[in-house]
Structures are given as structure tokens and as C-alpha cells.
Amino acid sequence: MTIRAPFRSPRGISAVVALLAVGAAGCSDVVDSAKNGATKAARQRSVFSLSTGDCYNPNSEKIEGEALAIELVPCDEPHRGQVVGEFNIEEKGGFPGDEAVTAIADERCPAEAGEFAPDTWALPEGVGLSYYTPTAESWATGDRAVSCTYTKESGEFTGSLKAGAKSLKPEQKTYLNGANAVYDALWMNQPEAENVEEDLEGYKAQADAVATALDAHLDGLRGIEGTETGKLRSRLEETAGHWKDAAKASDAEAFYVAYDPAFTGLDPNDTVAARKELGLATTVPADDAEVWAS
């Protein structure tokens, strides 16, 4: 699973360009255009000034690429992104490279986002995790900051995504922590090779990671009362067995035999009833629905 990662621009550089087109439009249209342009210009901020909770609009339609500045907007107005966490890279010495910086953000940002908005099912459709990271040039000036954001690839959403873990009931937090860890283990350990035959050990390692996460999830579910939660727990206990079989597969054929029911057992549609019982969002994200539908 690819996570988009916009890059930070060199520190101290900012560019604000307001284009006010005056054509054949009527006077009121010209005034409105001028007001909108002036508001957008006044809201321009350096990407280095972003703070957790800030809602913003990128100045480019493209999410990826170097950014010099963003438009900071009130969260109750339509916007494309919100900062959901920040941290500094502790690496010392020279710039470790774009891939290394991205790998650090890949590891840290999901946890930061999970604290800000634990239930990814409650996010607006089309919103995904992205981040601003240092470039080689900004690194040389001392920049080590990473801003984790939820950004909508196209279109806008309104309102803050803030729904911190502290606002959850204990059973909701337990469920989400466990479920999120399972799917993180699945996607974050996905081998690059498309065929199991090309990297059996890599796929077995992924299966082992998922099985371990499932065991932890099941431990949490055993402490939650509820008919539907109990049914889900029983299904996941069987699913965990399939993942363990896949992790111990002696060859690719044995892996495939175990993997099919293991993957099917993680179908998010099978968790809807338990989520409803726990008072959590019940609409399967479109991307997840598409993966399991295929």
C-alpha cells in the first residue's frame, strides 16, 4: 500500500502569488474574486509553521511534490487537509535520503494519526494519510520536523477530524487498538514481490506479523462483552489459525492453501455488526471494500 508523502521545501523560503483575473465579468464578480484572492493571500503560511490540528489547503492540486507554503483555513470551512500529528526525526549527521525519511514517516505517522482520529472508518471518503518531510536542503538548515496529515486527494471536507483516544470508551479503544494493529501488520509488511514463489520467506514473515497482531487483538476482545463481539472473536480465532499455518508453510503451495481463508477472514464487512454493537462507525471505507470485493 503506497502512502503519499509530500516533501518539505527549504526553510525560510515562501512564495505567495495572488492572481486576480479581471476580464469580461461583471463588477460584483470582480470584487468577489478580489476578496477571495486577498483572503487566500492573507492565509498563506510556511509549511514549517504547521501545528497539530491545523486545517489547510495545499497551493497545488497535486498532493505530492515540494511545498513552499499552504493556505491555513478555519476547520469549519471546506479544506483538503488537517495536521494530525508532528514529531522530529532524531537522526544526526547528513541527510539520510528521501527513502529513509519516508520510511520513518511510514512508521511514525500512523501512530500519530491513531491518537488524533482512532477510527479510520469515521474519516470522510477519500481522506488518506500523507506527510510533509524534510528535504536535503532543509535538513542542512536544521529541519528535522515531520507533519503527519490527513489529506483528501480531490475535493474538500468540512470540520475537524479530531476524535482523540481520550474521548473513547474503554471497550471502543481496546477494539480499535487491536483492529488497527491487525491491518497495519497486514499492509505494512506487504512484500514487494507480487508472487509468493519469488519471496516465500517475506510472505511468511507477513503472515507471522498478522498472526501476532491477531493474538493481541483477541486478548482484548475477550474482555469485551456483547453477542456480536463474541461472534467476531470466534471468527477471528479461526482466522488466526490460518495465518499461523501460512507463517509455517513449507512451500508456496501450502502458503496459498492457508492464505486464502486467512485473508478472507479479515474481511472488514464481517466486523460491521460488532462495530455497531460497540457504537463505532459502520461504513466500510471504499478502498477496503474494493480490496476484499476483488
Give the pLDDT of residue 80.
Answer: 94
Q: Is the predicted pLDDT of residue 32 greater than 70, yes or no?
A: no
The reply to whether 157 falls in a domain is: no
The reply to whether 38 falls in a domain is: yes
Domain final residue pick, 152, 178, 210: 152
Look at 9-13, 79-83, 206-210 and tell me which has the smallest mean pLDDT: 9-13
Q: Are 197 and 251 found together in one domain? A: yes
Question: Which distant-in-sequence residues (6+ apart) come within 8 Å of 183 by Cβ?
Answer: 266
The residues that bridge with 130 in the sheet, in sequence order, are 149
Q: Are 148 and 172 found together in one domain? A: no
H or E element that contains 73: strand 69-73
Q: Is the predicted pLDDT of residue 7 greater than 90, yes or no?
A: no
Per-chain mean pLDDT for the chain = 84
The reply to whether 94 falls in a domain is: yes
Q: Are 135 and 196 found together in one domain? A: no
Domain final residue pick, 96, 120, 152: 152
Q: Are 233 and 139 found together in one domain? A: no
Give the pLDDT of residue 25.
Answer: 42
Q: Are 120 and 239 found together in one domain? A: no
Of 266 and 5, which is predicted with more confidence?
Answer: 266
Taking each helix axis from N to C terminus, what angle separates 170-188 and 200-221, rounded to the nearest 10 degrees? 180
Q: Are 48 and 129 found together in one domain? A: yes
Q: Are 181 and 122 found together in one domain? A: no
The reply to whether 162 falls in a domain is: no
Q: Are 139 and 192 found together in one domain? A: no
CA 267 to chain centre: 19
Alpha helices in the chain (DSSP H): 27-42, 98-116, 136-140, 170-188, 200-221, 227-247, 252-264, 272-278, 286-293
The reply to whether 158 falls in a domain is: no
The reply to whether 259 falls in a domain is: yes
Closest CA to 262 of 223, 292, 219: 292
The reply to whether 202 falls in a domain is: yes
Q: Are 126 and 173 found together in one domain? A: no
Closest CA to 206 of 193, 187, 219: 187
Q: Is the predicted pLDDT of residue 38 greater than 70, yes or no?
A: no
Q: Would you tell me how many other CB atoms lie within 10 Å of the CB of residue 136? A: 14
Q: Are 272 and 282 in contact (CB under 8 A)?
A: yes
Give the pLDDT of residue 63.
Answer: 57
d(CA 137, CA 279): 47
Q: Are 98 and 172 found together in one domain? A: no
Domain count, the chain: 2
Structure confidence by residue, pLDDT tens digits, 243-282: 999 999 999 999 999 999 999 999 999 999 999 999 999 9
Q: Are 144 and 197 found together in one domain? A: no
Question: Which distant-in-sequence residues (6+ apart) come within 8 Å of 249 by Cβ?
Answer: 200, 204, 207, 255, 257, 258
The reply to whether 163 falls in a domain is: no
Q: Are 246 and 203 found together in one domain? A: yes
Structure confidence by residue, pLDDT tens digits, 100-152: 999 999 889 988 998 999 999 999 988 999 999 998 988 998 899 999 999 99
Domain final residue pick, 152, 181, 216: 152
Structural domain harbouring 114: 7-152
Closest CA to 174 of 212, 119, 249: 119
- pTM to 2 decimal places: 0.76
d(CA 109, CA 146): 9
Residue 278 vs residues 40, 86, 118: alpha-carbon distances, Å: 42, 30, 14
Instruction: Kindly indicate the confidence band of residue 21, based on its pLDDT and cuts at 50, 70 and 90.
Output: very low
Give the pLDDT of residue 241.
Answer: 98
Q: Which triple of cell numbers denotes residue 206?
A: 507477513
Give the pLDDT of residue 2.
Answer: 23
Q: Is the predicted pLDDT of residue 39 greater than 50, yes or no?
A: yes
Give the pLDDT of residue 22.
Answer: 32
